[in-house]
Amino acid sequence: MMIQIDKTFLITEYNYYKHKGLKYLNDNLIEESLISLKYAAFIAWNYPILYNFIDDEVENALDEISDILNKNKGVVFQGNENKIVFYSGQIIDYGGLTQQYLYFLVENGYQILFIIPDIKATKEGSEILDYLNKNNNIELFIPKSSKLSVKIKEINSRIDIFKPSKAFLHFMPHDVEGYCVFTKLNIPRYFIVHNDHTFWLGKGCSDYFIEFRKFGCQLSMQRRHMRSDKIIYLPYYPIEHIQKFQGFPFDRKNKIIGVSGANLYKYYLDKELNFFHAIKELIIRNENFIFCLAGFGDATIVKNFISQNNLQNRFYYVGKRNDFNEFIGNCDIFFESYPLKGGLTFLYASKQNIPILGLSNHKNASGGLEDWIETGNYKQPNNFENFIIQADLLIKNKDLRDKNAIIFSNNLFNRKDFTNNLKQLLEGHKEFLSCKFPGLLQLDDNYYLNEFISVTGSSLNYFYFKFYYIRNISDIFERFREFCSIIRLNYTVLKLKQLIRLIMILIFKK
């Protein structure tokens, strides 16, 4: 029987592993408790099932675990003002917000203890690793143990030796290790909110929360019930990956090039693919218009759309471009992803004076671009009819493209303002960066959750990751049951390497 996940199923799963974690804690089984709570947080992160996007009960349990594991709890050390600990749950070159804060700290002469909780969290950050290892003011620390409880102890010990004066926290949303380390640390802790649209752990282990847009500020105050004086509004800037432009897979002479780029799931959240159909309409209306989609993920759906609609010479899927910044700079119009916007890609366009067009969507975490940056009286279209009208005008009229580019090019998402504002924060001028976004948060919770549930392969992905996460707190019978769930869903889409890994976990937990 095909297994389908829905809200009831996900909440049941969440509560099961949450309460399993609480029971393990009551029985003093700390490692098992951490694993269970981490998996519960993983569910809430990947599927927006919790109205508050936070769980104080889980965080209170992690506080208790921290008390058990940290022998130096309550000890206040005299931190060196020039020393800062920077904890990053994972590193991704040109992704997340690691590099923006790291570069600032280095350029301002701080000594940094840079902590990554697991060597596996570095696989997409080779350039960041190289930067860390070559800089004399940075000490890189990665705990050796694979056990969560031991990692926490190792990190605690290293911080005690380093004696920082401040901490910057760049958590993964389900980061139980980081939470347990920093919840008892008696220095100012700045939580970098890079997943403002999802559940995350961290409310109880930080002093200030750095948000980058209106949506995040409103959600933290109105749903997470966080004090406004603890929320800092500090827009970031994109890290440019300077590469020589690799060209187009077609002759661009006398063509108007539209481009969009994101993780492909952001387009697939709309099962009707209305955005792609709108692009098709623009292609039909304009003989000189060519569209390029840059992105990463399973490209089967977009490739099928291109072939089924005979768009092979007008709609190009170009994959993940290492020259993404230059690629956008050589196009004529940047189109935001839909139905879920990206947080970085539009900034590459705005910085290079490329006109931007997208659709506002207040049912999910996207909002309108005017909610990200101040655009005067400009409002994004909120339906496909107006989107097609505005896009058609931009394709046909260069003056309109130039005017559009001016609207978006002057914004706070730039390195100069980021640097000045972060200096203000560290000098204690928090009121200068206080959150000033009145009004009610706009979000349709059921619509938002159903977007994620409806993505092709959602059930398979859920059980695959569940099997991986719970392997050390489940017996052979439970692992076999989850293994069968994966096989029943669709074993044919599993790669041989994945299937072998699943069998190894089934037998050996490894």
Residues with Cβ within 8 Å of 462's Cβ and at least 6 positions away in sequence, in order, are 5, 46
Q: Which of 17-26, 67-76, 307-316 shows the lowest mean pLDDT across its residues?
A: 67-76
Of 282, 287, 316, 323, which is closest to residue 302 (Cα–Cα)? 316
Of 62, 95, 92, which is closest to residue 180 (Cα–Cα)? 62
How would you classify residue 273: left for phi > 0, otherwise alpha for psi between -120 and 50, otherwise beta?
Answer: left
- pLDDT digit string (tens) for 278-322? 999 999 999 999 999 999 888 999 999 999 999 999 999 999 998
- Give dist(CA 360, CA 434) in Å, integer: 26
- Give dist(CA 385, CA 347) in Å, integer: 25
Band of residue 478 on the pLDDT scale cut at 50, 70, 90: confident
- Give dist(CA 175, CA 171) in Å, integer: 6
Residue with tokens 């911080």: 159
Residue 227: burial class (beta carbons within 10 Å; 0-12, 13-18, 19+): exposed
Query: Which regions of the chain carry the CATH code 3.40.50.2000?
Result: 76-239+416-433, 256-412
pTM summary value: 0.92
pLDDT given at position 471: 84
Residue 327 one-letter amino acid:
F
* pLDDT above 60 (res 492): no
- pLDDT digit string (tens) for 107-165? 999 999 999 999 999 999 999 999 999 999 999 999 999 999 999 999 999 999 999 99
- In percent, the amount of the chain with pLDDT more than 90 equals 74
Topology of domain 256-412 in CATH is: Rossmann fold (3.40.50)
Residue with tokens 């392997």: 471
86, 114 contact by CB (below 8 A): yes
Edge-to-edge strand list for the sheet holding 231-233: 138-141, 111-115, 80-88, 164-170, 189-192, 208-211, 231-233
Backbone angles phi, psi at 335, to 5 degrees: -105, 125
Bridge partners of 140, per DSSP, are 114
Residues with Cβ within 8 Å of 400's Cβ and at least 6 positions away in sequence, in order, are 355, 393, 394
* pLDDT above 50 (res 399): yes
Q: Which of 55-59, 89-93, 259-263, 468-472 shows the lowest mean pLDDT across its residues?
A: 468-472
Q: Give the DSSP letter string of 107-136.
A: HTT-EEEEE-S-GGGGTB-HHHHHHHHH-T
- Give dist(CA 174, CA 39) in Å, integer: 8
- pLDDT digit string (tens) for 408-456? 888 889 999 999 999 999 988 877 788 778 889 999 999 999 998 988 6
* pLDDT above 90 (res 376): no
pLDDT given at position 1: 46
- Give dist(CA 486, CA 464) in Å, integer: 6
The size of the chain, in residues, is 510
- The tokens for 443 are 């979000």
Residues with Cβ within 8 Å of 145's Cβ and at least 6 positions away in sequence, in order, are 151, 154
Q: What's the chain's average pLDDT?
A: 91
Peptide bond connecting 235 to the previous residue in cis, omega within 30 degrees of 0: no
76-239+416-433: CATH superfamily: Glycogen Phosphorylase B; (3.40.50.2000)
CA 432 to chain centre: 26
